[in-house]
Structure 1
Amino acid sequence: MAAKPSSATPSKRKKKQLPLDSKRPKISKTKSKDKEKKKKKKNSGGNTLIDSTKIREKKNVTESTEAAENDGNYGVQLATASLQLRFFVHQYQSANGVQLSSLELESLKDTCILDLCEGPAQDISNLGQHIKVAFGPSWKEVLCEKHVQEGKVDPGNPAVLVISLSALRSLELLRELRPLTKECHAAKLFSKHMKIEEQVSLLKSRVNIACGTPTRIKKLIDMEALGLSRLAVIVLDMHTDVKGYSLFTLPQVRDEFWDLYKSHFHHRLLEGNFRIGLYGQVPANSKTKMRKTDS
């Protein structure tokens, strides 16, 4: 008689036939949710960190910009009369390799500078407005009248002289001064398309405003065609060209300007006969090196 199969055998076989996945430990839904929360929290924390960093960086840039502007170290600025004078004296000494005497420095006071930064913003379109402010209530009589007045207004003696980097820049400045020069035309004192004989002829009439380049201005003064008896304001145009050069940095023009200044303006400025205005942005920190005086 055959033996009966054990009742345990089928159950064991059944267990062996179970799929392998069923033996893997089940991850509870709670743990899965916790992992998802941690992941979201991590991502959220990262974004928060990035956002806060950006905010701090923006704040630091703003604060540093404001501090630099307040300290006068922001590259360029619309300087006060005191800073303009300091810059101008530094440029004079550096370009010419000289040191002004204590007597000369005492004579060069803030009153020698036309403080253009106190008026409207310095833009080429309102240069005329600045000049009007400089002459006060009498601006119309000084700048717009066209008749020569014997003993008071001699021909060829402008009240305002604008010195610029080039002929093209001079034309731009003169274009913006047209409201002041309708009755009495401004004198164009540059060599481009202008013969010096023509300019000498034009200077035989009354001139209130003249604008040009250093070389031609000096030549006309030396010829006694351009007079300085009425000169009250010299505007030095601080405009930089496409190559970054200005009246004080373009080598040839810079030398021509200082030659003109030393010959005809320096002693008159020390005596307080006129004021100088630096029109445009004045570098806050000038690093021009002193040149050795030629032997």
Structure 2
Amino acid sequence: MGSGKPEKTQKPGRTPKPFGPNNPKSQSKFKKKTNTKNTANRQIKTKTTSVTGNNKNNQPSQQLRYFLSQFESANGVQLSSLELESIKDSCFLDVSQELGQDVMKLEKHIKEAFGAKWKEELCEGKHIEGKIEAGSPAVLVVAPSALRSIELLRGMRTLTKECHAVKLFSKHMKIDEQVSLLMNRVNIASGTPSRIKKLIDIEALGLSRLSVLLLDIHTDVKGYSLLTLPQVRDEFWDLYKNYFHQQLVKGDLRICLYGPIPNGNEFKGKSVELADGDREQLDS
């Protein structure tokens, strides 16, 4: 991208932590037992058990079920019970049904997420040395395309008058230009998975202030979305596993699925029951 590209340096604490199929800790713990005397009589019965959440009915929310089902489908894995326990309903930001899914009302959803501190976190443009890290947004929007990224930013226009939002996609934008913009205070940024990951990789885009990760799951004219469009989907999950999952589990980050969630996406974990009474949870 030119000689002006900054040297990539690895800082302590910024090492990507893989999740799912790339994490050695998430390898399958299910081992089929062998017994020469009882092998012929051993039968494996499959049961389905609903994953519990934090809501009143002890059932996972629609957002949580959909997110987990898409993760498993895209990565070809089945999450272990330990991994499931780490992702709770509290990790997801409820979108007010009264406000609807109109893009022009998006800023109202974002304000609700930050409560009384919304103006301080989202509108102020002054960089405070030692307190506000340059290039670290409080809200990061991930969209499947550059056009959709811009459209979502229009819905937050009144929040970005003093501190302009940064566009993080490759179409008509050079990475050096984005690196320069990220040297200032950034409250809101919007872009595509591949460019966002590249900017994090070179440590131009920071995550220290990130509180809300908004995922645009609206479908295009062909019925594809961020989580279903093949190449974009893979790029997003690569980004998520490397940089967002650990923050989500620790409670430092909440995800907002912005868009209608398709019906029929029930998420269920499978357990196996062996004939001799042993039970083990199938891991990924």
Could you state the TM-score of these two structures normalised by the residue count of structure 1? 0.68
Question: Is 1:276 the equivalent of 2:255?
Answer: yes
TM-superposed CA distance for 1:150, in Å, is 2.0
TM-superposed CA distance for 1:81, in Å, is 7.6
Higher mean displacement: 222-231 or 263-272? 263-272
**C-alpha contact (below 8 Å) 2:127/2:134 kept by paired residues:** yes
Q: Which residue of 1 aligns with 2:235?
A: 256
Instruction: Answer 1 or 2: which has greater helix percent.
Output: 1
Q: Take 1:195 and 1:178, find their aligned partners in 2: how far apart are those partners?
A: 23
Question: Is 1:239 the equivalent of 2:218?
Answer: yes
Q: Unaligned stretches of 5+ in structure 1?
A: 1-79, 289-295
Cα 1:137–1:119 change in 2 (3 A) is farther
Cα 1:215–1:141 change in 2 (3 A) is same
Q: Which residue of 1 aligns with 2:20?
A: none
TM-superposed CA distance for 1:151, in Å, is 2.2
Deviation track 1:217-273 (CA, whole Å, cap 9, x = no partner) reads 000000000000000000000111121111011111011111111111112211111
Deviation track 1:110-129 (CA, whole Å, cap 9, x = no partner) reads 10000013551121110111
Q: Which amino acid aligns with 1:102?
A: S
Greater relative contact order structure (CA < 8 Å, 6+ sep): 2
Q: Which residue of 2 aligns with 1:160?
A: 139
Which runs of structure 1 show a deviation greater than 6 angstroms over 4 or more consecutive aligned residues? Answer: none
**C-alpha contact (below 8 Å) 1:231/1:274 kept by paired residues:** yes
Give the one of 42, 51, 74 matched to 1:95: 74
Question: Is 1:188 the equivalent of 2:167?
Answer: yes
Any idea what SS the aligned residue of 1:277 has? strand
Give the one of 264, 269, 280 matched to 1:285: 264
Q: Take 1:249 and 1:286, find their aligned partners in 2: how far apart are those partners?
A: 13
TM-superposed CA distance for 1:181, in Å, is 0.3
Q: What are the residue-to-residue correspondences of 1:1-295 with 2, within 5 Å?
A: 82-118=61-97, 120-286=99-265
Cα 1:213–1:281 change in 2 (3 A) is same
- How high is the sequence identity, in percent, across the aligned residues? 67
Deviation track 1:132-155 (CA, whole Å, cap 9, x = no partner) reads 011001100000000111222110
Q: Which residue of 2 aligns with 1:11?
A: none
Any idea what SS the aligned residue of 2:150 has? helix
Q: Unaligned stretches of 5+ in structure 2?
A: 1-58, 268-284
Q: Which amino acid aligns with 2:218?
A: H
Q: Take 1:135 and 1:232, find their aligned partners in 2: how far apart are those partners?
A: 9
Q: Which amino acid aligns with 2:249?
A: L
**C-alpha contact (below 8 Å) 2:169/2:192 kept by paired residues:** yes
Q: Take 1:247 and 1:272, find their aligned partners in 2: how far apart are those partners?
A: 23
**C-alpha contact (below 8 Å) 2:65/2:265 kept by paired residues:** no
Q: Take 1:117 and 1:145, find their aligned partners in 2: how far apart are those partners?
A: 25
TM-superposed CA distance for 1:286, in Å, is 3.0
The number of residue pairs the alignment matches comes to 209
Q: Which amino acid aligns with 1:240?
A: T
Q: Take 1:119 and 1:274, find their aligned partners in 2: how far apart are those partners?
A: 24
Q: Which amino acid aligns with 1:267?
A: Q
Could you state the TM-score of these two structures normalised by the residue count of structure 2? 0.71
Q: Take 2:91 and 2:248, find their aligned partners in 1: how far apart are those partners?
A: 7
